[in-house]
Structure 1
Amino acid sequence: MLKQLGIKNLTVFAEAQLDFGKQLNVIVGENGAGKSHLLKLAYSVLQTSWEEGRKPSNSGESPTKTALQTHLAEKLVNVFRPEQLGRLARRRQGRERCDVKLAFANAELDVEFSFATNSKSEVSVDKVPAAWLKIAPAYLPTRELLSIYPGFVSLYEGHYLQFEETWRDTCLLLGKPLQKGPKEARIRSLLEPLERAMEGSIELDANGRFYLRNVSGRMEIPLVAEGLRKLGMLARLTATGALLDKGYLFWDEPEANLNPKLVRQVASSIVELSKSGMQVFLATHSLFLLRELEILLSNDKNGRAHNRFFGLHPGKNGVVVKQGPSIEDIGDIAALDEDLAQSDRFLDAGVGA
């Protein structure tokens, strides 16, 4: 479990400390407030630890400063896609350093690092973790990836493409074989509501093409509605076991391109995953999704302490983070207020009356 993320001088943030819950963590803010930056930062650190730990050269070995300082910088650049690493440091007069600290329930995973505005290819590792991460985190971007999956990984690794590396990482997870064995019953319980919503199941053929199979047969994924393809990504990662075993799921704007019915299903699946042991991190500015999550979480009084909400508020000295166990703790978010104001205008105008 990731307990805490501390940052100083990162992009739009002057200084912030986020205290995470062990189940569901929802980051809310307007466009440009840094929601995706927080997800990408935490994901980059976790993914670097997992990637380095599974290399044969590091097998059975403890992390070293040498292994981390270059590969962590590479991951940050490949995920954020700045011209150079130092562009991620908050821009002010003179040179500034960006400081990052991650604290885990397992203190062996704790890591601290920093870099300056003129840094290009290395970070300064101030605290080296004592162990590598054992489980791969998963990152779902705003775009669905099933339709671009065929050949994408080999193309990405053989050419310089301006796609962020989360796409490549997620495609690797989508291509894993289906999970079998003792975990199948739990996977099936998570899959069934997703497949009901899609009215079918996701299949991957030997040529690397995804299909939606239903009572009418198989339909090529590019012909399936984008909202269902996003749901299909979640279903596929569930079926391969990538979203089990106390792992980490990062999802940027789950509601994008989904109709309200599918948003309700996504919200339900997210809550179920978080209860099953996954630590989930969401970035959103959807009032509908937030309300659905609140409705679902309100039925679990014992679990409320394990969930956290974070509101991002732009100010003169950078974005300020407000946080707590409910939406009421995150302050007023303009994007949410606009949704409420529109509802009031609609009622005042008597539309449909």
Structure 2
Amino acid sequence: MIIKRIKLENFTVFTNVKIDFDHGINIFIGENGTGKTHLLKVLYSACQCADPKISFPYKIVSVMLPDDYNISRLISRKQGNPRASVRVTAADELQDFPENKLLTAGFCEKTSKWNADVTGEHTWEAAFKGASSIFIPAKEILSNSYNLNAAVEKNNVRFKLLLQ
């Protein structure tokens, strides 16, 4: 699966943002509270929806953990923002001519729990069946860093740790 684009409207700290990703590694840089982790959590939620047992809005709620597990709490708290939407576009890198797939979730202030309006879920599941992903928040890496050096020495992790 190659994530091509994400578009967020009235979602958490984002009023209206569209990010087109390059093939390969993309890096998010910004000050605290600007939404870097929110972007990663939404992308992780979308990747997890390759599994038909997990709905996109349910995964967003279980990853973002809004108050009362209510997706409507993720709407930007600015005047006049009654509705939010999340759109993720991806393609299957194993196809010769990959066709973009779109997964969307829309919700308003009255949406209860994770009952958002979703489109593209069935084609997303069919296209990316068996895809796997992992999200490890930076806080968890830093809080467990004393064990990270030992894990690297025992070849229990797949990256190099550079200590200075």
Q: Equivalent residue of 2:28, what SS?
A: strand
State the one-letter code of the partner of 2:103. V
Pairing partner for 2:91 from 95, 105, 109: 105
Answer yes or no: is the 8 Å Cα contact 2:6–2:88 preserved in 1.
Answer: yes
- Partner amino acid for 2:7? G
Q: Is residue 72 of structure 1 aligned with residue 56 of structure 2?
A: yes
Does structure 1 conserve the Cα–Cα contact (< 8 Å) formed by 2:57 and 2:116?
yes
Q: Report how far residue 86 of structure 1 moved.
A: 0.6
CA gap of 1:228–1:237, structure 2 versus 1, over 3 A, is closer
Alignment of 1:272-291 (within 5 A): none
Identical columns (%): 27
Cα deviations by residue, 1:3-31 (Å, 9 ceiling, x for unpaired): 11111111111101111112111011111
User: What are the residue-to-residue correspondences of 1:1-353 with 2, within 5 Å?
Assistant: 1-49=2-50, 51-52=51-52, 71-83=55-67, 84-94=70-80, 96-106=82-92, 107=99, 109-121=101-113, 122-132=115-125, 133=128, 134-142=130-138, 143-144=140-141, 225-228=146-149, 236=156, 238=158, 261-262=162-163
Structure with larger Rg = 1
Quote the residue 2:96 is aligned against: none
CA distance in 1, matches of 2:111, 2:64: 15
Residue deviations 1:131-157, cap 9 Å, x none?
Answer: 422211111122149x7xxxxxxxxxx
Identify unmatched segments of 5+ residues in structure 1. Answer: 56-67, 148-223, 240-257, 264-353
* Equivalent residue pairs, number: 147
Q: Give, in whole Å, the separation in 2 of the partners of 1:96 and 1:31.
A: 26
Task: Summarize the Cα distance change of 1:138–1:237 in structure 2 as closer, same or farther, 3 Å threshold.
Answer: farther
| Structure-2 separation of matches of 1:93 and 1:36 | 24
In structure 2, stretches of 5+ residues that fail to align are: 93-98
- Offset of residue 225 of structure 1: 2.1
Q: TM-score, normalised by structure 2?
A: 0.75
| CA RMSD between the two structures | 2.9
Q: Using the alignment, how far apart are the partners of 1:238 and 1:262 within structure 2?
A: 16
The TM-score, its normalising length taken from structure 1, stands at 0.37
Using the alignment, how far apart are the partners of 1:82 and 1:231 within structure 2? Answer: 34
- Seen in structure 2, the aligned counterparts of structure 1 residues 77 and 131 have a Cα distance that, compared at 3 Å, is closer
Per-residue deviation, 1:112: 1.7
SS at the partner of 2:43? Answer: helix
